[in-house]
Structure 1
Amino acid sequence: MRHNILNEFLLQPFALEAAKKEANRLPAAELVQSIMEIKPHKRVLAFRLLEKQKAIAVFEYLRPEQQADLIRAMETPEVMSLLEALDPGDRVRLFEELPAKITKRLLANLSPQAREGVNLLLGYPERSAGRLMSLRYLAVRDSVTVQSLLAIVRQSELHDNELTLVFVVDADRYYRGFVRTVRLVKSSPEETISHLLEGTNIAIRASDRDLQAVQLLKDNDLPAIPVVDNEGRLIGDITFDDVIDLVEEEATDAALAQGGVGNLLRRDKVWSERLIRGSSWYAIQLRILFLIITLIGGMLVGGVIERFEEVLEAVSAAAVFIPLVMDMGGNVGTQSTTVFARGIAWNHINVNRFLPYLLRELQIGASMGAILGLVAGIIAYFWQGLPNGIPQLGTAVAISLFCVIALGAVLGAILPWIMLKLGFDHAPGADPFITTIKDFTGLWIYFTLVGWLVGID
């Protein structure tokens, strides 16, 4: 593998020249993977093999937490050359990963222009559009002609993905719309761009939530959207690439929390690096709370089975369907919590007008319960009911599945909503409660029906 050459250099100094030549020959995207496969305390040595432009390109590919680890191991002069080359938004995301003491020192060493950009973004609240926006964009007056604007685009130092849209402002920098660069090529050179304007009402305020930018980009199918101040002046933009990172981060956090690595009392950001490579005690503290809830629930369910021991002894075939009754409700509950989490993230669910959504989930759960209960009841009737002389078993399975599936759907919707309204983290906390409630209730209904239909007191 190619990254072995970098490892060889770290183990054998005489391989320095070969490793340096190979490293600078590789594309930046491949180098990132190679460097990250090296032990953390040796990565900076491999990074120093790279020429300046290659090092900058590789550094931009790294995630903010990876950049922060590398920064800590570097000397100040080489750090500053990397920081000066970063986009202001990327600098801010990096500084958020670093201790305040290091951030303060690095800020003091930045050039005045770079420091101004960072301070501007840091002035906006976390999770706001202003904190997410980029200061690298192209804006022109609406009196510019197509020919003049094409010349400006050709001379611009912005990257290609930063020039898909050109924003248009008036003399006081109030936002007026945007022009797609592809339309410039198709338009008459003498035409003024005021005739090509689009998106005159598409903009987001810097004070708005960052997830609103995600929704705006999605709804309008745009590569970027303008960011304006409270008076409507253009101050930045948010690109598709910016929100992709945000959506990926949100999805990762939600997935980790769903797996039980969140914290019930506060919404902490959980980093996979620390969970995988940190102390075992840290992971235990994060995950054990909700596993204890599941443990208690398992004991309660065991009590239900013990309570109906006589039913099981008299109708041993009933034990065959215990996993079915327990698992189906749990799966439906997990589906509902996942739908709820995604609906909240994309603003499809209004927590203040929750009743219509809850009734919809009840309808869906009842419909699925009726269909699956009927199918399972027929199978139970012919599989275990008739051969064992207890045809009533099919009815018990059918009714139990209907109840537990409908209950799972309702619990999967209402429990996360209750936890959210109370200010708790619903992602890791809802499932253990759902599992306990639906298992306890589902088995109680199942055994009660079996005992009643078969005639066991």
Structure 2
Amino acid sequence: MDYQEYKEYEDYFRKLIEEKQLKELKSCITELNVVDIAEIIEDLDDKDMLLIFRMLPKEISAEVFSHMERYNQVRIVNSITEPELNSIVDELYFDDMIDLLEEVPANVVTKVLANAPVNERKLINEFLRYPEDSAGSIMTIEYVVFKPDMSVRDAMSHIKEIGMDKETIYTCYVENEYKMLIGFVSLRTLVISDEDKKISDIMIDDVVCVNTLDDREDVADKFKKYGFIALPVVDGEYRLCGIITFDDIMDVVEEEATEDFHRMAAINPSEHAYLDQSTWELAKNRIPWLLVLMISATLTSGIIENYNYIIAQFLILTAFIPMITDTGGNSGSQSSTVIIRALATGEINLSDAFKVVFKEIRVALICGGILSFVNFMRMIFVSKVEFGISLLVSLTMLVTVVLSKFLGAALPMLAKKINIDPAIMASAVITTIIDSVVLIIYFNLAVRLLPII
């Protein structure tokens, strides 16, 4: 469903509510996909959203709720009664419930815990204690587990009995009597295997898994590397604690990509969607880096002041400063963007640092040589600038491009080495550093190439 269709449904729903045609409204809603329902009602005001949400059948409402943005889930939670909340929580998958409880006020968490069975209450508390960016915080306990001595016939019966309540049945896990993970078996293997075979005979014991405390980005890298639809999560003693499914890790990938984009633009990342943030919150996320970059840019002014005696004799030099610094910033941004992306996707590692920097220097020599030559010819034949100044500007441009691409490649690798997000070393930071260094090179070359009195 595209944006125009969403708006048409949204307007139609409002019209039906105004005309009190609630029967027609309910009939129309239940024919839509749950993802589309969630997206349509999120743009309605609290009253209309709650009215439509309460019309949904119980089996649909929880699924619609799980596809809503966290902010809108909290809007629903704050507006419904305690029995309604418990009904929704009961229908949610465990990992979706944990995600919700991490966002809602403490009094709501208390209500949910008070109505949860003792065993589930213990699990909820345990999950809420996992670090926010850890594998444990996004795993679910809704998976199928077998014992190695089960027969294929018993395993299939087990799946039929509990499968509807599990997030996935396509990969089933095998644990021993100590709850240690010892293997896994796919549904395909179960279906084509002899019913009298033991699970231990058909399972794969070469298990790729993650630890509960592993970083979510590392988990995403494993999903990408192995192409699994689910990964088991174990504790320090290799006991199976849960699984992470592909849809959950896709959310993590989206969050991490958004965070990197924000940092590359010198903006502090936010967990909330753009339209859900107030004007003050948006400004607050941008001001710190703008202040840092503004203050650091005063170095540029200081450098220019230091070389006033050269500018006084060759005022024309100031006309080429924007072109040189912009070229440096653009060159550095190109390299840093490519390297940061390659680091994020795992295309390159820290061990490739020398090869990466060496390659970028070679690219810089080609780019810088072409730019310098074109600029020199332009200045001589089009702008009619004297030879010495044309040579100075063109030579500075060559050095600028080489230095910029070197820094654009080296700084993200250095950030990765010292455990800083490489995205910080993106265009804004690179440009600020290059501006200062390039001006020093420019004026020092001027001292050597021009007849300074």
Fold conserved (TM > 0.5)? yes
Deviates more, 1:24-33 or 1:198-207: 198-207
Find the aligned partners of 2:41 and 2:416 in 1 and give their Cα distance.
41
Find the aligned partners of 1:405 and 1:196 in 2 and give their Cα distance.
59
The 3 A distance-change label for structure 1 pair 390 and 230 is same
Amino acid corresponding to residue 375 of structure 1 in structure 2: I
Query: Pairwise CA RMSD of aligned residues?
Result: 3.4
Shift of 1:289: 2.2
Q: Does 1:288 align with 2:287?
A: yes
In 2, are the aligned partners of 1:366 and 1:402 still within 8 Å (CA)? no
In 1, are the aligned partners of 2:335 and 2:360 still within 8 Å (CA)? no
Q: Which consecutive unaligned segments of at least 5 residues does structure 1 have?
A: 263-268
The 3 A distance-change label for structure 1 pair 129 and 295 is closer
Find the aligned partners of 2:114 and 2:167 in 1 and give their Cα distance.
31
The 3 A distance-change label for structure 1 pair 259 and 437 is closer
Amino acid corresponding to residue 294 of structure 1 in structure 2: L
Find the aligned partners of 1:447 and 1:200 in 2 and give their Cα distance.
63
- Helix, strand or coil at the partner of 1:260: coil
In 1, are the aligned partners of 2:144 and 2:166 still within 8 Å (CA)? no
**TM-score, normalization by structure 2:** 0.84
Amino acid corresponding to residue 333 of structure 1 in structure 2: G
The correspondence for 2:200, drawn from 190, 194, 197, is: 194
Indicate the residue corresponding to 1:265 in structure 2.
Answer: none
Find the aligned partners of 2:150 and 2:362 in 1 and give their Cα distance.
60
Amino acid corresponding to residue 369 of structure 2 in structure 1: L
The 3 A distance-change label for structure 1 pair 346 and 381 is closer
- Helix, strand or coil at the partner of 1:126: coil
Amino acid corresponding to residue 76 of structure 1 in structure 2: E
The correspondence for 1:77, drawn from 74, 83, 98, is: 83
Amino acid corresponding to residue 379 of structure 2 in structure 1: Q
Find the aligned partners of 1:224 and 1:444 in 2 and give their Cα distance.
54
Q: Does 1:376 align with 2:371?
A: yes
Indicate the residue corresponding to 2:140 in structure 1.
Answer: 134
Amino acid corresponding to residue 396 of structure 2 in structure 1: S
In 2, are the aligned partners of 1:226 and 1:237 still within 8 Å (CA)? yes
Shift of 1:54: 1.9
Indicate the residue corresponding to 2:185 in structure 1.
Answer: 179
- Helix, strand or coil at the partner of 1:150: helix
In 2, are the aligned partners of 1:326 and 1:442 still within 8 Å (CA)? yes
Shift of 1:407: 3.2
Amino acid corresponding to residue 13 of structure 2 in structure 1: L
Indicate the residue corresponding to 2:435 in structure 1.
Answer: 439
The correspondence for 1:2, drawn from 5, 9, 16, is: 9
Deviations 1:163-203 (A, max 9, x none): 12111222333211111212333334443333332253422
In 2, are the aligned partners of 1:173 and 1:234 still within 8 Å (CA)? yes
In 1, are the aligned partners of 2:63 and 2:92 still within 8 Å (CA)? no
Shift of 1:84: 0.9
In 2, are the aligned partners of 1:337 and 1:430 still within 8 Å (CA)? yes
Find the aligned partners of 1:398 and 1:330 in 2 and give their Cα distance.
16
Q: Does 1:64 align with 2:47?
A: no
Indicate the residue corresponding to 2:5 in structure 1.
Answer: none
Shift of 1:53: 1.7
Amino acid corresponding to residue 435 of structure 1 in structure 2: T
1:298-377 paired onto structure 2 within 5 Å:
298-302=297-301, 304=303, 307=307, 314=314, 316=316, 321-335=320-334, 337-338=336-337, 359-377=354-372
Q: Which consecutive unaligned segments of at least 5 residues does structure 2 have?
A: 1-7
In 1, are the aligned partners of 2:265 and 2:428 still within 8 Å (CA)? no
Q: Does 1:162 align with 2:168?
A: yes
The count of aligned residue pairs is 444
Shift of 1:7: 1.8
Find the aligned partners of 2:172 and 2:439 in 1 and give their Cα distance.
63
Q: Percent identity?
A: 27
Indicate the residue corresponding to 2:27 in structure 1.
Answer: 21
Q: Does 1:101 align with 2:97?
A: no
The 3 A distance-change label for structure 1 pair 14 and 326 is same
Shift of 1:429: 7.6
Indicate the residue corresponding to 2:401 in structure 1.
Answer: 405
The 3 A distance-change label for structure 1 pair 234 and 271 is closer
Q: Does 1:122 align with 2:118?
A: no
Shift of 1:224: 1.3
Deviates more, 1:340-349 or 1:329-338: 340-349
Shift of 1:438: 0.8
Indicate the residue corresponding to 1:396 in structure 2.
Answer: 392
Shift of 1:314: 4.8
